[in-house]
Amino acid sequence: MKDLAYANSSSGGAITCVVTEYRYKRDDGFSIEVDYFSREAKMEQLSELLGAYRSFHSSADSPSVDRSLVTEEMASLALHTFKSMFRDRLASAEDCDFILRDDQGSVLARFGEWIGERAHLQGTVEETFPEVKACSTRLQTLTSESGSGDNRHEPALWPWIQKIR
């Protein structure tokens, strides 16, 4: 077994780190288990990201807020994560306006509805591949930013994943 940290983005920058363990089973080939975050864990993460995003943007209007506490980098990461998770819903700048316009509870409720539509991205899923290339291709899909062609509007999978074994 070999543990590898894998991070990838379309711009070449690290966006997340997923610890990946390759396992070869003599009879079955290569298998991976994907542990997705629970709904509760995902909502907690989104709440933290939303707070950082909104704090950064509201601090621009308030000179009394210390902007060093809420960095532009964190706000950018938050928006990137929202767009990656909900690419089909947040395709344009106008689609994202509600994130700052609506109250935080309403935004989180909307995110919660969207998470509910992706119930298949919860729990643990095991997949087996006869060859390492097929396994590697699947790992790339799980950890990469976006699909191509007809899948370019599909949400990225990496924000939903807690661990890959």
Sign of the torsion formed by the C-alpha atoms of 75, 99, 9 and 117 = positive
> pLDDT (tens digit, 9 = 90+) per residue, 131-145?
889 988 999 889 888
Q: What is the pLDDT of residues 104-127, one digit of tens each?
A: 999 999 999 999 999 888 899 999
Count of residues in the chain: 165
The pLDDT > 70 percentage for the chain reads 72
Torsion angles phi and psi, residue 32, rounded to 5: -135, 145
